[in-house]
Chain A
Amino acid sequence: MAGGHVHALYRHGESALHGLLPQTKIAAAFLFVFAVVATPREAFWAFGSYAFILIGLAAYAGLGIKFVATRMIVEIPFVIASLAFPFIAGGDKVTVLGIQLSQSGLWDMWNVLAKATLGLLTSIVLAGTTEIPNMLKGLDALRVPRVITAIMGFMIRYLDVVLGEFRRMRVAMRSRGHDPKWLGHARPYAASAGAIFVRSYERGERVYLAMASRGYAGHMPRSTIEPAPATQWLGVLAVPMFAWLIVALAWWSL
């Protein structure tokens, strides 16, 4: 069967982190990222501590360096964009290896890089230890509007179906001698993207019919929610609480 793209984010494991209820993990990850963002950029030691915590959690969950590193690739566009800051920002200049760089630009670059990397690392740890259906259940448990989680569920469910259609279309094109090499050869791809849009639209109609046939009347039923025990909440939220303590210390020591 088609190997799912979405599922590539999850790594099967037996760690305690995998076994936690999703709502506690999602809430903790959210609060943790907030703490990272709220940290003053001058507090290098604070960012070091966050990195230490996240790397520790990833190692504990058995995510592996390669697993994490390959999933960090999505950050590259942001890295490239932030590298421009020291060159384009104004203000005081410093000379590094004979090149004039903006001091505030360097700070901005560091700020974006550090916070984006830590934020991404947090989401990799979360997604790596939480299966997609559980993620949706967790969001349900956190009282995210059902409409939003339902839309997310549909997107995830049909991403593979639509990608599968695109793949088959591409195989069919190549089987009839299409061998794209240049940008000028992209036309059939554009046409197939259009075809896929129309097909997806029609599929949406059919899915709706199937839903209506099973009694759908405008409201998605909520999934059964397993409430997390208070001890688990406390244990898991201790991590972002600690991060917020670091934030407080960092501002205080400025």
Chain B
Amino acid sequence: MSVPTIAVEGLGFSYPDGTVALHSIDLHIHPGERVALLGPNGAGKTTLILHLNGIHMPQHGSVAVSGLELSRDNVMEIRRRVGIVFQDPDDQLFMPTVRADVEFGPRNLGLEGDELDERVDATLETMEVADLAERPPNHLSFGQKRRVAIAGVLAMEPAILVLDEPTSNLDPASRRELATTLRALDTTLLVVTHDLPFALEMCPRTLVMDEGRIVANAETAEILRNDELLKQHRLELPYGLSIAVGD
């Protein structure tokens, strides 16, 4: 089997006030996979993803990205490999123009000149925001901001793209268009979401987290058909929807 893009073994973490956020998490994501991470508020999803790029350092266990084990010395390389797109695009877009923002990551990696321009242009093209390049971020619609935020991370050519609630606050058309764009990427994806239909559409595999543990790991359709499991972990399909057998 290939070297997993993400290999988390026995990861444990508690906050300074003693609250245990993660209990011995094991998690493997392989190159090219698209995985959804579901769970109620406070389940530890955000804490987990902040470990994947070394914002939090493991207190117990280990995190490895494409075979490189996370440590204080290689945290910059880990951050290049793991691209996290945060929930509020206003937090992510801090530069004066869209282009400057997408350039931020690659410049930190030392790219300059034509190489930088090519990388940025290609990424803007992929996220279909090339026409917004010279605009200041505060002049964009919410959906556009989200696309630019993803472009800013994608421009670092990460081994895995981690999206925190990518569909929140999007209107149905923007959500649809975003799904289409994301599906066209060949990047490994981890999608943290409450949007179960989106998880089903995007990700063949799903993990369910609750109270700092991974409580389920299976095919997305199988998990969404398991009413008992969903109910137990405060997950719900939108009213009137159910997953047909064979989906």
Contacts and interface: CB of A to CB of B under 8 A. Distances in A.
Interface of A: 1-2, 4, 7, 132-133, 136, 153-154, 156-158, 160-161, 203, 206-207, 209-217, 221, 223-224
B92 A210 contact: yes
B76 interface: yes
B94 interface: yes
Given A1-B139, A215-B79, A157 B94 contact: yes
B101 to A, nearest CB: 9
Interface string B96-120: 1100100111011100000010000
Contacts of B134: 133
Contacts of A157: 93-96, 136-138
B88 interface: yes
B68 interface: no
A203 B83 CA distance: 20
B140 interface: yes
A213 B161 CA distance: 12
A246 B148 CA distance: 50
Contacts of B55: 209, 212-213
B156 interface: yes
B91 interface: yes
B152 interface: yes
B53 interface: yes
Given A133-B97, A213-B83, A206 B88 contact: yes
Contacts of B139: 1, 4, 7
The 6 closest A-B pairs by CB, nearest first: A215-B108, A221-B107, A133-B96, A214-B105, A206-B91, A160-B138
Given A157-B95, A215-B105, A132 B136 contact: yes
B84 A153 contact: no
Given A161-B138, A209-B55, A210-B86, A215 B76 contact: yes
Nearest to A220: B104
Given A206-B86, A209-B55, A213-B53, A154 B138 contact: no
B138 A221 contact: no
Given A1-B141, A4-B139, A206-B88, A214 B152 contact: yes
Contacts of B50: 209
B90 interface: yes
Interface string B21-64: 00000000000000000000000000000100101000000000
B80 interface: yes
A132 B91 contact: no
